[in-house]
Amino acid sequence: MFLNHYMNKNFPNLELRPPLFYSWEIGIRFELGVDYDSDYAYENSPYLQGVYKRAITLFKFLHSQNDVIYIVVDVDDFADGFKHKLKTFSTYVKEKSDLYRLSHKTIPYIFPEDNENGTYKTHRFTLKCKTSDFKYIPMLKAICNQDMGIRPSIFHRVYFININRKTIYHIG
């Protein structure tokens, strides 16, 4: 509810879905992986260390420890029912009591062009917190790991919406 109000006020008509960079009049896109070679697809490779460094540096530049943010995680449901326990928040939040503020909303599948029968849905989980309330470095690494098939991985779409600075940070 609060997220929708915030988005409508600060990002009117912006749909929270990739490619986010092309959906708004102002956007900056950074290449996190530079000089990729399939031989670099292993844990702690120099390539992956560079990806981590760029992702974390950008995050720290955009978010101070006291900034209030929304962490939004979109989980796709391909008509087989959402049965998996979402550990994205419980793994990375510092205080488990913060999970009581976690909200869940089922919305139409975020890619309607790929949903001809209308059977797919997206589960949107949102947590409003401060940057200092969660372990963002391991979370960012897990997001980066998903392309490499390395664990831990976060396969869902994750957005960090900074209320103080009016920015959206998405690794995708």
Provide the phi-psi class of 34: left if phi over 0, else alpha when psi is between -120 and 50, else beta: beta
Q: What is the mean pLDDT of residues 47-57?
A: 94
Q: What is the pLDDT of residues 80-136, one digit of tens each?
A: 666 656 788 999 999 999 999 999 999 999 998 988 888 899 999 999 999 999 999
pLDDT for 55 beyond 90: yes
* 130 in Cβ contact with 66 (< 8 Å): yes
Q: What is the mean pLDDT of residues 13-30?
A: 86
pLDDT for 143 beyond 70: yes
Provide the phi-psi class of 102: left if phi over 0, else alpha when psi is between -120 and 50, else beta: beta
Predicted pLDDT of residue 85: 62
**Hey, where are the domains in the chain?**
2-170
pLDDT confidence bin for 23, thresholds 50/70/90: confident
Predicted pLDDT of residue 172: 82
